[in-house]
Amino acid sequence: MKRNWILTVFTAAMLSSAALNAQEPPPQGEFIPGGPLGSRMKILGFEEMHSGKVVAGAPYSAVAVTETTQTLADGTTIDRKIQANIFRDGQGRVRRETTLPVIGPLVASGKSNPFVMIHDPVAGTAFILHPDTKLAEQLPAPSHGKGNHGGLQDKFEAHVQQEIANGTVKKEDLGTQTINGVAAQGTRYTRTIPAGQIGNDKPITAVTERWYSADLQLVVKSTRTDPRFGSTTYTLTNIQRQEPAATLFAVPSDYAVRQGHPRGRGNMMYGPGGRAPAAVPPSPPAE
């Protein structure tokens, strides 16, 4: 039971309507002070998610692989890899099956942390399924209001354009390339943090490359290299264009359903019996 609330707390930050309405994240998440959310999404492999966007008429299934490598000052290398199965039907319903790597005292148990996310824009519902406990947490219906995530996205875009205009971010067109059988348009974003801005004695350069499929309306590959945090690669593999089975987007009949509150209220942010967790996994450092 303990590992369930650790998983729930860790995923709660991801499961706002911004994450559940999504197919492709804006590149601006790489560059703005709110970047840690984008970093968490990359760690969990939510690379194809994008606020407020529902894609109909482009069904597919694929395996998403996120790999992160970080080399510490003493030469120690940390490698992390997360794999997820993704399904989207012709109505825009999305299912994502992920198993998080165990951490801390749970490593000795050998147990994994499987969970499934389902977003159904047709019914206006979203769920987190826990296969090990047969529990489905129903999330509040996503809001599409302009004053909510739409307005935030506009601010993101405006911030990126401002950074491009003042030279902090350089944007380059990489042309078209076929990646895992899908034609994709590449874009490189290079952000330079000037010397002295964050106490650095030399400029720091972070580079992000994104390959976007206009046909599928999602990112099929991205890489990010930052000397502070290491490198992260996201790749969509084994892409199949067939319509997935409708049962994948429904809660199984033998699951218990309870209400979840991803914004920090109720059971989503507490452990068994309503007790507050002893610790919450730390957020990645802000830029």
pLDDT (tens digit per residue) in 151-194: 566 777 788 788 888 888 999 999 999 999 999 999 999 999 99
> What's the confidence (pLDDT) of residue 47?
43
**Residue 4 banded pLDDT, cuts 50, 70, 90:** very low
Indicate whether 217 belongs to any domain.
no
Indicate whether 52 belongs to any domain.
yes
Indicate whether 249 belongs to any domain.
yes
Residues 6+ apart with CB under 8 A from 94: 22, 23, 86, 87, 88, 117, 118, 119, 249
Indicate whether 80 belongs to any domain.
yes
pLDDT (tens digit per residue) in 121-150: 888 899 999 998 999 999 876 555 444 445
> What's the confidence (pLDDT) of residue 185?
97
Indicate whether 13 belongs to any domain.
yes
> What's the confidence (pLDDT) of residue 230?
94
193 burial class (0-12, 13-18, 19+ CB within 10 angstroms)? middle
What whole-number distance in Å separates Cα of residue 261 and Cα of residue 257? 13
Indicate whether 286 belongs to any domain.
no
Indicate whether 265 belongs to any domain.
yes
Indicate whether 170 belongs to any domain.
no
Containing structural domain, residue 19:
2-158+239-274
Give the tokens for residue 150.
Answer: 């739409």
Q: Please give the tally of structural domains in the chain.
A: 1
Residues 6+ apart with CB under 8 A from 107: none
More confident residue, 30 or 140: 140
**Residue 54 banded pLDDT, cuts 50, 70, 90:** confident
Dihedral sign computed on CA atoms, order 123, 129, 133, 138? negative
Give the tokens for residue 276.
Answer: 């507050």
More confident residue, 152 or 49: 152
Angle value at C-alpha 120, between 240 and 42, nearest 5 degrees? 65
Strand partners, 185: 176, 212
> What's the confidence (pLDDT) of residue 60?
97
C-alpha count within 13 angstroms, C-beta hemisphere, residue 217: 14
What pTM does this model have?
Answer: 0.72
- What is the arithmetic mean of pLDDT over 197-224? 94
pLDDT above 90: percentage of residues in the chain: 50
Secondary structure (3-state) at 247: helix
Q: Beta-carbon neighbour count of residue 15 at 10 Å?
A: 22
98 burial class (0-12, 13-18, 19+ CB within 10 angstroms)? buried
